[in-house]
Structure 1
């Protein structure tokens, strides 16, 4: 899909989005060309229009670390990993390549990260975006960072809810509902999402460091653009620190959950031990009367059998009452 975004000065300098077919020419003044799951014909069309090379999906995925960011024929190629499907149980990272030229910004992607929707909602409003390709790139990176912060905040809220479920819940509810097992599974999902956020921010930080060190929008704005990149770098580093903090909370929560699971298991083992002790006196009595010696006068008693049963019940109840009195149960 070939998405073209033009700046419309007559409507408050906002982006106007158009979907082009393969046969339609690229309009003049297109500052952002968004290639979503592009075909080979669409790639060739953009290559002929801007004189840049469009990487394929396989090339984007198999890039070496030294090839993630480079400059070729005056165009800056930057590949970042962006959070995608963060609301599902199986979040993932989507490779997005930014190609920044003097004429336009080209983005190549094969997924639909939520950050692009966030940026479009801003940029399609009056004065929602600058009029240069670099300004569009700034807005996209800002949206990616904002989305990562939003994902971390959502994970933090869910972790707090799970914490309350564990530390405020009753053990009987936990045993019957299997809440511990569900929490441990959720902890694994949260840790996977947090690691995705951290990995995404590391790749975005590399892009920002490259831009702050090498890119100048124009001679007039060369002194003004660097602080914007550096401010974004600080935001990214703050998110990375927040992700580390949430990860440590998850580790504590996992340790506490496993500790509580151990306590519940100890209770079960303790119960089995008590049952074994409770059954020892009846077993002893039954063993004695099961010998059937001739010299046992009780064998001739009419009430010998009821007496044996009564003794078994009494000696089964007495240890239980003793354990309750000692608060071992």
Structure 2
């Protein structure tokens, strides 16, 4: 099979109890990232397990994501993988067999890299159970960091949406203001999408923590049990925090939409006043444009100025009435 630890695009990393590289027989953790078929076959043969396919890990039923088979705990969760600025959900498998852990993933994930580095620097793990707990803790920590960044993004968007208008500043243009608010709505929408991904991830981790506490054989030590309980409490806190952010997202979307509607209504109101104020002078011009022979105003020396004055007056009166009603 060749070297068991390779720095390539596909990695099979084997971690032993001493925290360093080891052979497959002594490994407490085999981490497969975009594994090759030969690596999958070797791990299955030496560990005596059946690794789930990517399609199986993508199943959404709880019974498919969490199951026990002959003492092996087979678990899966959608985790956020590095993919540009936003990240994407990628199915990830955890197989806990006695005190050995096998993880299967198809993207690079920072949480796994951090646990690798911690173990290789000398923070040794005593078994697969502890490695699993460390992974869950690190994933929850990163979920909290992502939600904090989302909260900062929403705070920035909120300040931009609810900012006070500048009294002495340049007059707002409808097109420019609408584009600004639409851009803010896009930012809020992306933040909301990120929240949904984080929520999917930490809720799946919470189910794994409960499943391990209930089904793990041999039973996990009290110290690890307390850490898993702490993971569950952290998830409850994250769930409450995410719910508050969801309400804030809805508020910002509604506010931005309302402000765009207000700006558009102001334009419609001005157009309505202009159209109403333009009806009387058009009527006057139409009357005096008929040129009937018996129209007395046609022979007046001041008939033309009189028509102009009548048209101007009929324009001003509706505008003043709108101002008096405070509609303008």
Structure 2 residue aligned with 1:152:
147
What is the CA–CA distance in structure 1 between the aligned matches of 2:72 and 2:162, rounded to whole Å?
A: 55
Residues 94 and 113 of structure 1 are in contact (CA less than 8 Å); yes or no, is this contact kept in structure 2?
no
Residue ranges of structure 2 left out of the alignment (5+ in a row): 1-9, 166-170
Q: Answer whether contact 2:281 2:312 (CA < 8 A) is retained.
A: yes
Match of 2:65 in 1: 68
Helix, strand or coil at the partner of 1:164: helix
Equivalent residue number for residue 44 of structure 1: 41
Is the contact made by 2:15 and 2:28 (CA closer than 8 Å) also made in structure 1? Answer: yes
2:162 aligned partner: 167
Measured in 1, the distance between the counterparts of 2:121 and 2:164 equals 47
Does the residue aligned with 1:30 lie in a helix, a strand or coil?
coil
Aligned pair count reads 313
Structure 1 residues not aligned, in runs of 5+: 10-14, 19-25
Q: Using the alignment, how far apart are the partners of 2:183 and 2:154 within structure 1?
A: 13
More displaced stretch, 201-210 vs 303-312: 303-312
Q: Which aligned pairs between 1:292-311 and structure 2 lie closer than 5 A? A: 292-301=291-300, 304-305=303-304, 307-311=306-310
Q: Name the CA shift for 1:276/1:262 in 2 (closer, same or farther; >3 Å).
A: same
Question: What TM-score does the superposition give when structure 2 sets the normalisation length?
Answer: 0.84
Query: Root-mean-square deviation (CA), in Å?
Result: 2.8
Cα distance in 2, alignment partners of residues 306 and 316 from structure 1:
15
Q: Structure 1 residues 28 and 263 mapped into 2: Cα distance closer, same or farther (>3 Å)?
A: same
Distance 1:179 1:59, change over 3 A: same
8 Å CA contact 2:91, 2:105 repeated in 1: yes
CA contact (8 A) 1:2 1:42 kept: no
Matched-pair contact (CA < 8 Å) for 1:4–1:30: no
Q: 2:90 aligns with which of 83, 89, 94?
A: 94
Give 1:138's match in structure 2, choosing from 133, 140, 154: 133
Q: Does 1:6 align with 2:7?
A: no
* The 10-residue stretch of structure 1 (175-184 or 146-155) with the greater mean CA deviation from structure 2: 175-184
Against the structure 1 CA distance between its residues 230 and 311, is the aligned structure 2 distance closer, same or farther, given a 3 Å change threshold? same
Alpha-carbon separation, structure 2, partners of 1:271 and 1:313: 18
Q: State the partner residue of 1:22.
A: none
2:280, 2:311 within 8 Å by CA — same for their partners in 1? yes
Give the 3 Å change call, closer, same or farther, for CA 164–208 of structure 1 in structure 2. same
Cα distance per residue 1:41-84 (max 9 Å; x no partner): 11101011211111121222236421212222432211111123
Please say if residues 59 and 65 of structure 2, whose CA atoms lie closer than 8 Å, have aligned partners that are also in contact: no
Distance 1:66 1:160 in 2: 39
**CA 1:62–1:213 in 2, change beyond 3 Å: closer, same or farther?**
closer
Alpha-carbon deviations, 1:129-165, whole Å to 9, x = none?
5232211111111111011111111111111111111
| Cα gap change, 1:87 to 1:283, in 2 (>3 Å) | same
User: Equivalent residue for 1:191?
Assistant: 192
Greater Cα offset, 200-209 or 314-323: 314-323
Map of 2:222 onto structure 1: 223
Q: Is the 8 A contact 1:174 1:180 kept in 2?
A: no
